[in-house]
Amino acid sequence: MKEISITVNGTLYDLSVKPWATLLEIIREDLGLTGTKEGCAVGECGACTVIMNGKTVNACLVLAPEADGKEILTIEGLAQGDVLDPVQEAFMEKGGMQCGFCTPGMIMSTKALLSEKAEPTDQEIRKALEGNFCRCTGYTKIFESVKEASRKLGR
């Protein structure tokens, strides 16, 4: 076992983890935060996207010991009580989801994009979301959601 300390959604956790455990397993199984999804387990679908130290990562590809000392933001960390984050609101208002399985990863990638680029172009949105796959939509509503989130954030 390996001792690690990670901050997830503002809370510090001291954990004893298997060295081969992934960040995704820690988030879901040890911390009980099931909004981050496992889709492919090989970094191809983006369902497990979280923000680690300000950058998006596929939690299924990060070994838990690699997250030691890092700050992690998951989908559960966006809302403030009953008040949704503007990105979450935009996805709901613009219908940027169907089954919802990919939505947490899409939202986290959008959150990271908008923290770096106030008014992203279509090409910048496409680049930011290129690792997030949706099997239900044609991405039009997702793009509209990203643009609405940018407007909501006053950018």
As a dihedral over the C-alpha atoms of residue 120, residue 124, residue 127, residue 129, rounded to 10 degrees, the angle is: 20
Whether residue 34 is found in the same domain as residue 92: no
pLDDT at residue 154, as a whole number: 83
CB 60 within 8 A of CB 41: yes
Q: Which amino acid is at 49?
A: T
Burial 19-38 (b: 16+ CB within 10 A, else e): eebbbbbbbbeebebebbbb
Number of domains in the chain: 2
The enclosing domain of 138 has a CATH number of: 1.10.150.120
Q: Please give the model's pTM, rounded to 2 decimal places.
A: 0.96
pLDDT at residue 138, as a whole number: 79
Burial 127-139 (b: 16+ CB within 10 A, else e): ebbeebbbeebeb
Q: Is 62 left (phi over 0), alpha (psi -120 to 50) or beta?
A: beta
Q: Which amino acid is at 17?
A: V
- DSSP letters spanning 29-84: IIS--TTSPPSSSSSSS-TTEEEETTEEEETTTSBGGGGTT-EEE-GGGTSBTTB-
Whether residue 41 is found in the same domain as residue 13: yes
pLDDT at residue 137, as a whole number: 81
The enclosing domain of 9 has a CATH number of: 3.10.20.30
Terminal CA-to-CA distance of the chain, rounded, Å? 45
Whether residue 100 is found in the same domain as residue 147: yes
- CA 125 to chain centroid: 15
Cα angle, residue 143 at apex, residues 97 and 52 outer, rounded to 5°: 80
Whether residue 61 is found in the same domain as residue 110: no
Whether residue 148 is found in the same domain as residue 122: yes
The parent domain of residue 95 ranges over 86-152
- Tell me the average confidence (pLDDT) per consecutive run of 10 residues in the chain, 155 residues long: 98 98 98 97 96 98 98 98 97 94 97 96 97 90 97 85
pLDDT at residue 105, as a whole number: 98
Whether residue 67 is found in the same domain as residue 94: no
Rounded CA-CA distance 67/71 in Å is 8
